[in-house]
């Protein structure tokens, strides 16, 4: 009998959510700011409890800076920065990184190019010359360019079979316009990849990778005196150039509800992408929007995921997000749903977009706690600390942004959530991209009578299939 009682108690416990612990304030170490002799701004967060160091350089050098005729140039340059530098070819450079047990690499996004070094303190003196070679003396060898060129062309060709890539690419094109910097192919086209030459990469590097066009964040086991001494010596020949600002034009306002249908015969699922132009990262409504979107689609228990996945079983998951770059980004709702449930899932998405204009106080409290309690997890490693500080600097956020984050989240009220939902989610002015089996899904979409259906081919989105 006692055993049975314990079993019943355990069953009851599974249906009761544990209460969250108290929300504690986050207090980061003071960020020390100084400049090297060449003008490079340096921001140091000392964390001496572990013998490791993270250095993250950030430059105004993402894909929005690609020449019109060479989309993908920034991505290719970032890919090749660690494929040989100084007197070491790609193999020798890679072997040295592996031998030291460090991480060294670069990545280009839409707005920026980041170059990072992670090293044990004991290996930092040996790691820094590799970092210096990447920054000042990348090789951009022809053989490595050819290898990366082939990889890029293969990825482009593979994307013709990837419904999710087709859907996301088409979404950016119809929201921003094909020629907008946020819609151009960040990884290049067949023509641009075949055209890029080492001279283009060297020119890109000389134009954008220099002290006047970026900054450095250091986190970990290093003090200011050591940073100034080691970096001053390492980068003394690195000359400042000119700042490369870029003003991203606003996307056109979406008018009415429009459906863009791309046929993928035989597809078992339909990729759905809903949305319209959104907000820049420095919007004053950032915190209310984050809390509102947590309720709508940014957590597992959000309304969208609960509806589409848990209640109806149309898909493995459903989400929503606000992409907030320096310019105006986009609001996006997304899912991959069963073909035979495409129209039903679309109707449920639209229903949730309308319903988010009204929220319950219990939902608001749950969303606030979700964000506030989860935020300290963004600082579990020195890599993530450096990344968070870099975001603050890159987007020109307030100096106390990180320490004030939890307090700002907890201040968001029910009225704030409903206000931003009405302001920034417009179900009547939205695009819907659907990639799926047209023969199966078109009748249901048409019966919804949401708006005009526009028909696109995969080639309209990705261009002719590469040879």
Which residue in 197, 168, 208 sits closest to 62, CA to CA?
208
Place of tokens 């990262």: 281
Sheet holding 430-436, edge to edge: 315-323, 330-338, 269-277, 430-436, 257-263, 452-456
Categorise residue 173: left if φ over 0, alpha if ψ from -120 to 50, beta otherwise.
alpha
pLDDT tens for 344-394 read 999 999 999 999 999 999 999 999 999 999 999 999 999 999 999 999 999
Alpha helices (H) in 197-330, listed in sequence order: 198-208, 224-234, 286-296, 303-305
pLDDT tens for 13-22 read 555 666 666 7
> Domain check: are 169 and 310 in the same one?
no
> Domain check: are 181 and 265 in the same one?
no
Question: What's the CATH number where 443 sits?
Answer: 3.30.830.10
> Considering the domain boundaries, does residue 340 fall inside one?
yes
Q: Could you tell me the residue range of the domain that residue 157 belongs to? A: 32-234
Place of tokens 């964390």: 47
Sheet holding 52-59, edge to edge: 32-35, 41-46, 214-220, 52-59, 113-120, 103-108
Those residues of the chain that have pLDDT short of 70 are 1-21
- Per the CB < 8 A criterion, the answer to whether 369 and 363 are in contact is no
Q: Write the CB contacts of 356 (distance below 8 Å, at least 6 apart in sequence).
A: 292, 295, 296, 303, 421, 425
β-bridge pairing 41-46 and 214-220? parallel
Q: What is the CA radius of gyration of the chain?
A: 25
> Domain check: are 263 and 114 in the same one?
no
What's the domain count of the chain? 2
- Say how far apart CA 458 and CA 147 lie, in whole Å: 27
> Domain check: are 63 and 165 in the same one?
yes
The predicted structure's pLDDT at residue 29: 82
Which helix (H) or strand (E) covers residue 330, if one does?
strand 330-338
> Considering the domain boundaries, does residue 68 fall inside one?
yes
- Say how far apart CA 386 and CA 401 lie, in whole Å: 14
The predicted structure's pLDDT at residue 25: 72
The predicted structure's pLDDT at residue 11: 56
> Domain check: are 227 and 266 in the same one?
no
> Considering the domain boundaries, does residue 173 fall inside one?
yes
Which residue in 45, 23, 19, 22 sits closest to 32, CA to CA?
45
Domain-terminating residue out of 175, 202, 234: 234
β-bridge pairing 430-436 and 257-263? parallel
> Domain check: are 352 and 451 in the same one?
yes
> Considering the domain boundaries, does residue 282 fall inside one?
yes
- Per the CB < 8 A criterion, the answer to whether 166 and 435 are in contact is yes
> Domain check: are 201 and 284 in the same one?
no
- Say how far apart CA 328 and CA 203 lie, in whole Å: 29
> Domain check: are 226 and 146 in the same one?
yes
> Considering the domain boundaries, does residue 400 fall inside one?
yes
pTM, to two decimals: 0.91
Which helix (H) or strand (E) covers residue 421, if one does?
helix 414-424
> Domain check: are 210 and 298 in the same one?
no
The predicted structure's pLDDT at residue 364: 97
> Considering the domain boundaries, does residue 87 fall inside one?
yes
> Domain check: are 89 and 154 in the same one?
yes
> Considering the domain boundaries, does residue 8 fall inside one?
no
> Domain check: are 198 and 313 in the same one?
no
> Considering the domain boundaries, does residue 11 fall inside one?
no
> Domain check: are 221 and 261 in the same one?
no
The predicted structure's pLDDT at residue 10: 54
- Say how far apart CA 419 and CA 310 lie, in whole Å: 28
The predicted structure's pLDDT at residue 243: 81
């Amino acid at each position: 009998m006692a055993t049975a009682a314990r079993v019943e108690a355990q069953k009851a416990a599974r249906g009761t959510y544990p209460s969250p612990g108290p929300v504690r304030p986050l207090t980061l170490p003071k960020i020390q700011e100084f400049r090297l002799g060449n003008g490079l701004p340096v921001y140091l967060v000392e964390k001496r409890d572990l013998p490791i160091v993270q250095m993250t350089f950030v430059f105004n050098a993402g894909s929005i800076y690609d020449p019109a005729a060479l989309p993908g140039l920034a991505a290719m340059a970032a890919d090749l920065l660690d494929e040989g530098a100084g007197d070491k070819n790609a193999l020798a450079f890679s072997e040295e990184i592996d031998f030291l047990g460090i991480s060294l690499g670069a990545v280009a996004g839409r707005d920026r190019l980041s170059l990072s070094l992670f090293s044990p303190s004991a290996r930092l003196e040996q790691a820094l010359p590799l970092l210096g070679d990447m920054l000042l003396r990348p090789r951009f060898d022809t053989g490595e360019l050819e290898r990366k060129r082939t990889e890029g062309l293969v990825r482009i060709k593979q994307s013709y079979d990837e419904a999710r890539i087709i859907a996301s690419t088409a979404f950016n094109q119809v929201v921003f316009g094909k020629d907008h910097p946020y819609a151009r192919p960040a990884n290049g086209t067949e023509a641009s990849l075949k055209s890029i030459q080492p001279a283009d990469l060297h020119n890109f590097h000389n134009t954008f990778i220099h002290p006047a066009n970026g900054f450095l964040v250091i986190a970990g086991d290093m003090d200011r005196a050591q940073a100034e001494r080691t970096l001053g010596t390492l980068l003394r020949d690195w000359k400042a150039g000119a700042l490369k600002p870029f003003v991203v034009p606003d996307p056109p306002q979406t008018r009415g509800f429009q459906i863009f249908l791309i046929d993928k015969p035989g597809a078992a699922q339909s990729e759905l992408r809903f949305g319209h132009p959104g907000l820049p990262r420095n919007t004053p409504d950032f915190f209310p929007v984050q809390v509102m979107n947590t309720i709508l689609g940014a957590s597992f228990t959000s309304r969208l995921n609960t509806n589409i996945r848990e209640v109806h079983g149309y898909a493995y998951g459903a989400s929503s997000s606000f992409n907030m770059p320096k310019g105006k980004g986009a609001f996006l709702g997304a899912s991959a749903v069963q073909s035979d449930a495409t129209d039903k899932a679309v109707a449920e998405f639209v229903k949730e977009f309308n319903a988010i204009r009204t929220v319950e106080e219990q939902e608001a409290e749950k969303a606030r706690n979700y964000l506030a309690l989860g935020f300290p997890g963004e600082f579990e490693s020195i890599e993530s600390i450096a990344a968070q500080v870099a975001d603050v600097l890159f987007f020109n956020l307030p100096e106390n942004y990180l320490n004030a984050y939890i307090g700002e989240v907890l201040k968001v009220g029910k009225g704030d959530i409903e206000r931003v939902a009405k302001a920034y989610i417009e179900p009547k002015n939205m695009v819907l991209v659907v990639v799926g089996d047209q023969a199966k899904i078109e009748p249901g979409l048409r019966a919804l009578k949401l708006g005009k259906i526009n028909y696109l081919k995969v080639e309209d989105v990705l261009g002719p299939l590469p040879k």
